[in-house]
Structure 1
């Protein structure tokens, strides 16, 4: 039996024998669904809660909570998120801590496990997985130099990435960049990006990012760039590696939990990101050699 969000599309490979219960996205409907689960559950059953939150009602089966949201596992800043999202996350943080009970927490990386141990004071199991069906990229006609697969939340760090693209443009370097932002949910961010794109001549494209289109987008890209500030897993890193793409990514623990990047950078620095892109493109800057004291004085006098 599977209780599924009513908005979620099931793949064609879903077993026909699986009993699917559609649940509307509301607390009342969830409460009713959990009542149904509680009645149907036996002590030998396994209950996998795949959406970060444990059941509100107690059930007799063995409960596993798959925790993938790092906004819930630690009290990190919600600045920049819409007010509705901030309220929801605050409530979900309370929900997670109050109703976790004796459930087993499952995470996908050791970094996430350490965060659970430190902040939730719980042991957990590290059980990562990647989707089936990923394929190697097609080198015949790549359309984009780089792709960044991410939604528009502040921690995804799009603004710093676009600032880096602006720095590259100032040097006459204009690689193409494919983004996967939602035209509705990320409208304000897209407006800002398009204003900079028009003003600085940046080659930025935004593409539809549903699961059916992702293999083709990876196949049309030369490399993945991933400047996110934190992830519970970073699935695009796995997908890009399976697709054969080189990866430029943040020099952060969550990245090296799952892949060894081809190049890394400080995600808080647009300059660091731009320099990593330049190195990848084979464009190297010669570090400035500081003058000795006598030369410094001569240059200073020349300026005066």
Structure 2
């Protein structure tokens, strides 16, 4: 019997994972291929042609049944790609590769800001990964930072390899150029393409926009938040927008096919996320020749050199980066020499002083 490829992706149906899985299914190799997919994972017409699709409902019992199916139907010559971060629940006879792109599973980042449901899910998945790491022959990650974190957790066994892939690798470089036209004029139009999980850091970003408004600066910002999934966050943004007169617009969920048009209409991507396994919008913005203002963190430097970097935990740092990019420089400190300082000290009474 000939070997086959089994793509196990029962917990992928949205975000960057969905985008990459779509691209992968469109590149099926010769030979038999079976894909176990979440029932919510919609496929474009023509994608996954020639692939045997097995739909799995997003319930614990259906997921368990899929794991049992995988154990029963994997032959010794087969290759299994687990595309949903987690190893097989049971030891398989074939060669098992796990594509790991959820940094929360290997990072020690606290989960306090997540909902109870999300905390429970991530905690279970962390235990699943740790308990079933022996079922993996090889991990695949997207960046050197993810490899370092994973190696620290697994002590390098099984080995992890850095194999970053995107839907289209054309026009990518660490800096603006390489086939893309750099934009130099800034009209204060920013875009942030992301979902609304806590690590995406929208609240700190909005505080930065409020600080800018307090200085009489009103750059525009477009975000892509699903108003149903992130209702509380969208409500907070609405309050800030009304209170400070912010030029912030939520576009809602934007299909990946329309993202490039957002980049074409912006002066820069701003990306204040505090934690990423890859950061696909960073790659896509660079391919579009769009300047990037991003967190000064390892995951950013893994993939590009931003035009401006900031401390993602400080709204003041974010606001200053935006001002610099738009040509609004911070005033210099009103330095004194020792003589001027002493003259102030010896004077009696309260004097006005620039702060």
- TM-score, reference length from structure 1: 0.93
Provide Cα deviations, 1:121-176, integer angstroms capped at 9, x if missing partner: 2331111111139896998xx99710111111111111111111111111111000
| Aligned counterparts, 1:29-40, within 5 A | 29-40=62-73
| Aligned counterparts, 1:163-182, within 5 A | 163-182=207-226
* Distance in 2 between residues matched to 1:236 and 1:137, nearest whole Å: 18
Provide Cα deviations, 1:232-272, integer angstroms capped at 9, x if missing partner: 00111001111111000111110010111111111111111
* Distance in 1 between residues matched to 2:239 and 2:306, nearest whole Å: 31
1:258 is aligned to 2:303: yes
1:220 is aligned to 2:265: yes
* Distance in 1 between residues matched to 2:326 and 2:250, nearest whole Å: 22
* Distance in 2 between residues matched to 1:145 and 1:134, nearest whole Å: 25
**Counterpart position of 1:114:** 148
1:199 is aligned to 2:243: yes
Distance apart, 1:294 and its partner CA: 3.3
**Counterpart position of 2:168:** 132
* Distance in 2 between residues matched to 1:145 and 1:284, nearest whole Å: 18
Distance apart, 1:10 and its partner CA: 1.5
Question: What secondary structure is seen at the aligned counterpart in 2 of 1:213?
Answer: helix
| Aligned counterparts, 1:60-209, within 5 A | 60-103=93-136, 104-122=138-156, 123-132=159-168, 145-207=189-251, 208-209=253-254
Counterpart selection for 1:53 from 52, 70, 86: 86
Asked if structure 2 preserves the Cα contact closer than 8 Å seen for 1:44 and 1:61, the reply is yes
Moved over 6 A (4+): 133-139
How many residues align structurally?
302
Distance apart, 1:4 and its partner CA: 0.5
**Counterpart position of 2:279:** 234
* Distance in 2 between residues matched to 1:296 and 1:194, nearest whole Å: 46
Question: What secondary structure is seen at the aligned counterpart in 1 of 2:161?
Answer: strand
**Counterpart position of 2:18:** none
* Distance in 2 between residues matched to 1:20 and 1:138, nearest whole Å: 42
Distance apart, 1:33 and its partner CA: 1.6
* Distance in 2 between residues matched to 1:22 and 1:246, nearest whole Å: 40
Q: CA RMSD in A?
A: 2.1
* Distance in 1 between residues matched to 2:74 and 2:231, nearest whole Å: 43
Counterpart selection for 1:2 from 10, 35, 55: 35
Asked if structure 2 preserves the Cα contact closer than 8 Å seen for 1:267 and 1:273, the reply is yes
**Counterpart position of 2:338:** 293
Asked if structure 2 preserves the Cα contact closer than 8 Å seen for 1:66 and 1:107, the reply is yes
Question: What secondary structure is seen at the aligned counterpart in 2 of 1:32?
Answer: helix
**Counterpart position of 2:317:** 272
**Counterpart position of 2:350:** 303
Q: In structure 1, list runs of 5 or more residues that go unmatched.
A: none
* Distance in 2 between residues matched to 1:156 and 1:183, nearest whole Å: 15
Question: What secondary structure is seen at the aligned counterpart in 2 of 1:229?
Answer: coil
* Distance in 2 between residues matched to 1:125 and 1:27, nearest whole Å: 30
**Counterpart position of 1:28:** 61
Asked if structure 2 preserves the Cα contact closer than 8 Å seen for 1:138 and 1:220, the reply is no
Taking structure 1 as reference, are residues 191 and 249 closer, same or farther at Cα in structure 2, changes over 3 Å only?
same
Distance apart, 1:77 and its partner CA: 0.3
Provide Cα deviations, 1:265-292, integer angstroms capped at 9, x if missing partner: 1111111111111111011112213212
**Counterpart position of 2:31:** none
Distance apart, 1:114 and its partner CA: 0.5
